[in-house]
Amino acid sequence: MQYMVNKYLQYDIYNLDLLTYAGDLTKHKEIESRDNYYFVKADIADREAIVSLFEKEKFDYVVHFAAESHVDRSILDPSTFVRTNVLGTQVLLDAAKQIGVSKFVHVSTDEVYGELNFDPTTFFTEETPIKPNSPYSASKASSDLLVRAYHETFGLPINITRCSNNYGPYHFPEKLIPLTISRVLNNQKVPVYGDGRNIRDWLHVIDHCAAIDLVLHEGLNGEVYNIGGHNERTNLEVVKTIIATLGKSEDLIEFVKDRLGHDKRYAIDPTKLEALGWKPNFKFETGIAQTIQWYLDNEEWWQRINSGEYKTYFEQQYGA
């Protein structure tokens, strides 16, 4: 949000958010007084509210980030993910179709492709078949197909982006990197699923924003674009890097029972997007150091979150 508000002063930018457990308006303090920024609290699955808003404001573009996104929570309660990610997407598509938007960008995930083996020469491309393995990725794959169908059936101008794992400032503490940073800073055990060998491709949030900006303005109508940083690391490598950077002991690592349906590896080939002119600016070594520093500088933000409802969830998911 900050990226677009700061870059496009000529755009009126609306931030629509239901402010569920992971919603946090404090991250937008630096832009909330800007003349081109507006906040609307609403549920994307609330058809009446969404259609009314779209008819009133007559948006030119829709960039659809809104989603339940945590795999672990989708295993605990798949229904919430179906409601938000599938039904909510369909409501947004109907509203966008009704007012005739110029572009609908649907932000998805590499997890819809399923898993790769450990062969470092294999990558997801835009032609890789969709084979989701978790309720979360299945709900995102379903929403991807709905977006494609609205393009093919109704002619809605769309793009779909599928990104690798994001990291950076304001990342909610349930995800691996902020979870590890906050636990290590509190000298608490860091849970690592299974043997920690699962591999993810890490993408800095600023690189992701730049990619979406490019797709919004230059993406070919109807096309899918993969966004990956070529920064593959095992989960255990990520955790050890954070521990070493913070000068703590690896004794804080605690291996726990593996996640159900845990995909082995994700890795993206972003060649198609690079042909539009995009390249990631952040190598993982630089990005993770900056991210760790951000959490050191903003301890009050994540300590407040960790002391609330999230503490109960953590104990339910990983054990007290």
Residue pLDDT, tens place only, 80-136: 999 999 999 999 999 999 999 999 999 999 999 999 999 999 999 999 999 999 999
Catalytic residue, candidates 17, 43, 68, 111: 111
Nearest to 2 by CA among 22, 42, 29, 35: 29
Residue 319 is predicted with a pLDDT of 54
Mean of pLDDT values over 63-81: 88
Query: Please, what is the average pLDDT of the chain?
Result: 92
Catalytic residue, candidates 17, 43, 110, 201: 110
Residue 213 among the catalytic residues: no
Given a cut of 60, whether residue 318 has pLDDT beyond it is no
Query: What tens digit of pLDDT does each residue of 27-41 get?
Result: 788 898 899 999 999
Mean of pLDDT values over 168-185: 92
Domain ranges of the chain: 2-171+202-233+264-282
CATH architecture of 2-171+202-233+264-282: 3-Layer(aba) Sandwich (3.40)
Query: What tens digit of pLDDT does each residue of 214-248 get?
Result: 999 999 999 999 999 889 999 999 999 999 999 99
Residue 316 is predicted with a pLDDT of 54
| Alpha-helical runs (H) found in the chain | 2-7, 47-57, 71-76, 78-81, 88-99, 135-154, 176-185, 205-218, 235-245, 271-274, 284-297, 299-306, 309-318
Nearest to 237 by CA among 281, 280, 285: 285
How big is the chain by its Cα radius of gyration, in Å?
19
Mean of pLDDT values over 75-84: 92
Contact 217, 225 (CB under 8 A): no
Given a cut of 80, whether residue 306 has pLDDT beyond it is no
Contact 201, 164 (CB under 8 A): yes
3-state secondary structure of 160: strand
Residue 174 is predicted with a pLDDT of 82
Residue 305 is predicted with a pLDDT of 73
Residue 145, number of CB atoms within 10 A of its CB: 15
Residue 111 among the catalytic residues: yes
Given a cut of 70, whether residue 309 has pLDDT beyond it is no
Residue 313 is predicted with a pLDDT of 45
Catalytic residue, candidates 37, 68, 115, 136: 136
Given a cut of 50, whether residue 314 has pLDDT beyond it is no
Mean of pLDDT values over 261-283: 96
Q: Give the range among 64-78, 151-165, 194-208 with minimum mean pLDDT.
A: 64-78
187: left (phi > 0), else alpha (psi -120 to 50), else beta? left
Residue 310 is predicted with a pLDDT of 46
- Give the type of residue at 20: T
Residue 282 is predicted with a pLDDT of 95
Contact 139, 71 (CB under 8 A): no
Residue 57 among the catalytic residues: no
Residue 19 is predicted with a pLDDT of 84
